[in-house]
Amino acid sequence: MIQLIINGQPQRFPLPDQARPPKSDQHDAMLNITQLLAHMALQGKRIAIERNGEIVPRSKYDEQVLTDGDKLEIVVAVGGG
Amino acid sequence: MDNFIIAGKTYSSRLLVGTGKYRDFAETRAAVDASGAEIITVAIRRTNLGQNPGEPNLLDVLPPSQYTLLPNTAGCYTVDDAVRTLRLARELLDGHSLVKLEVLGDPKTLYPNVVETLKAAEILIKEGFQVMVYTSDDPIAAKQLEEIGCIAIMPLASLIGSGMGILNPWNLQIIIENATVPVIVDAGVGTASDAAIAMELGCDGVLMNTAIAAAQNPVLMASAMKKAVEAGREAYLAGRMAKKLYSASPSSPVSGTIASSKGKAS
């Protein structure tokens, strides 16, 4: 499991490879942002993400591997004046 | 042509509207359409975790391909929050750099904190944002915001959501006179005559949300505001007659009346 702080709330997510027994200690299971969004049913939604204070461009969702304790902000556009 | 240009783009409507406080997205869309506004503000908020996946998104109702979306920093009380919010907005809107900056000073009055607003504007401008800035009706602050590179100055007419109308037309007039960028009254308009007065003063545009959304019939009020902004603009361009206590020159000919008296009761 990995713990992330998403929009100020601590949340735990299973790592994708955890179901299978690890082949070696070096091969840690990893969760990237694309996989996280799939978990949260947010894939393909109009959102923007900040990770530990830095914007994560949409094109980088696959390569950004999350670390335990990462702070994410996931935002949408809402009505406002 | 009486062009209204913001960040190099020409608009035909000088009314900018917000999208908050509506009953639902259908009403939001109907009011926006009735207002004729081409620039509309949106807020940036944390997504509801575990939200209903089928939940409609504001951007589906008001697609960025049809409108110029102006993401705001409503609810931000610090430079950091405002800057981070707009960085997220730029990512959300595919690199769109036109934004509405507001840094509030007080949750009770929503009065802007101009000192922090200046700091945030400086950072954003350095990062390539085109900043339309909400500020007080202080002419010096307005000029400073222009000098650091804000592309539109948006002073309040009265407090956000108050509907109190134009409380200090004299300050607005000084701001307009001093400005070389568009001046847009943002906040305080309550009804159509307020919008017309703002435009008659020479404002380049009016931005409003509550005046429309909190009307008994928002769609009808949106239509009224469209006309008021157009009427006020035309009156400004036409140049009003001078005010005088009375006129010795009636509109109808003075000779040829059948009356025998000269205005004296006999």
Domains of chain A are: 2-16+28-76 (3.10.20.30)
Rounded to two decimals, what is the model's pTM?
0.90
Written as one letter, the residue type at B65 is S
> Which pLDDT value is given to residue A20?
52
- B47 burial class (0-12, 13-18, 19+ CB within 10 angstroms)? buried
Q: In chain A, what percentage of residues exceed pLDDT 70?
A: 85
Q: Rounded to 5 degrees, what angle do the CA atoms B156, B159, B164 make?
A: 100
- Mutual angle of helices B114-126 and B139-147, in 10-degree steps: 10
Cα B186 to Cα B205: distance, rounded to the nearest angstrom? 9
Q: Answer yes or no: B100 catalytic.
A: yes
Chain A nearest C-alpha distance from B61 (Å): 11
**B82 CB within 8 Å of a chain A CB:** no
> Which pLDDT value is given to residue A27?
44
Cα A26 to Cα B40: distance, rounded to the nearest angstrom? 51
pLDDT digits (tens, 9 = 90+) for A24-62: 444 457 899 999 999 998 988 899 999 999 999 999 999
Residue linked to tokens 């085109």:
B130
Listed in sequence order, the residues at least 6 apart from B131 whose beta carbon sits closer than 8 Å to its beta carbon are B99, B101, B121, B124, B125, B149, B150, B151
> Which pLDDT value is given to residue A26?
43
H or E element at residue B40: strand B39-46
Contacting residues of B for A9, CB less than 8 Å apart: 49
> Which pLDDT value is given to residue B102?
97
pLDDT digits (tens, 9 = 90+) for B28-53: 999 999 999 999 999 999 998 875 66
| Helices marked H in B139-209 | 139-147, 169-178, 192-201
Question: What DSSP assignment string belongs to B201-235?
Answer: HT-SEEEESHHHHTSSSHHHHHHHHHHHHHHHHHH
**B215 CB within 8 Å of a chain A CB:** no
Listed in sequence order, the residues at least 6 apart from A13 whose beta carbon sits closer than 8 Å to its beta carbon are A1, A2, A4, A31, A36, A39
Mean residue pLDDT of chain A comes to: 86
Cβ separation of B49 and A9 shorter than 8 Å?
yes
Closest residue on chain B to A81 (Cα): B18
Cα B111 to Cα B125: distance, rounded to the nearest angstrom? 22
Quote the ipTM score. 0.87
Interface with A, mutate which of B42, B47, B86, B100 (most A CBs under 10 A)? B47
pLDDT, averaged per 10 consecutive residues of chain B (266 residues), comes to 92 97 95 97 90 78 94 97 97 95 95 97 98 97 98 96 94 97 96 98 97 97 98 97 88 85 58
- What radius of gyration, in Å, describes the C-alpha atoms of chain B? 21
- 8 A C-beta contact, residue A45 and residue B49: no
A19, pLDDT greater than 60: no
Cβ separation of B47 and A8 shorter than 8 Å?
no
Cα B97 to Cα B17: distance, rounded to the nearest angstrom? 18
**B53 CB within 8 Å of a chain A CB:** yes
